Amino acid sequence: MPLVRISVFHEMAAERRLRIAAAVYDAMRLTLGIPEGDRFIVLSAHLQDELIVDPNFMQMGRTSDFVLVHPTLRRGRSIETKQSFYEEAARLLEISANIAPDNIMVVLTENELADWSFGRGEAQYLLNPPDGTQTTKASRSDAKQSELRKSISAQKGDQS
């Protein structure tokens, strides 16, 4: 159920932007327990004076390939799960879109089930919560993660 905002500089090619969105979605599915099809991403390209980024803050070496990933998702994931997401996002962004890890900034924002309406003026997760949304356990079993990795890798291989 995350809503992800991704910001890049406008010079970045449209095809590369799509690869960034796909990599972030794949990383969420692999680490945060996001179901297939739960893909809501706002990708914005900014002029240099609209996205102000310190090139060296926290000893990073940022360039015009900077990517800001800002997922908003339901509260309840452990620190380890979040760290796993950061690592997987960096890994997939480097592989899929050739984004160096220093150029990737992730900021997670958490909220509650009552904070989501997917349409019709209803809070669907409160009215009819889908299986698993009432628990704070968000990580998948190792077997499911392995299966999902294979599926995503196979899809990536088909696109090459």
So which residues are the catalytic ones?
Answer: 2
User: Residue 149 and residue 134: Cα distance in Å, rounded?
Assistant: 26
User: Residue 151 and residue 36: Cα distance in Å, rounded?
Assistant: 11
User: Residue 67 and residue 23: Cα distance in Å, rounded?
Assistant: 12
User: Which tokens in the block code for residue 100?
Assistant: 């160096």
Strand partners, 3: 72
Terminal Cα distance for the chain, rounded: 29
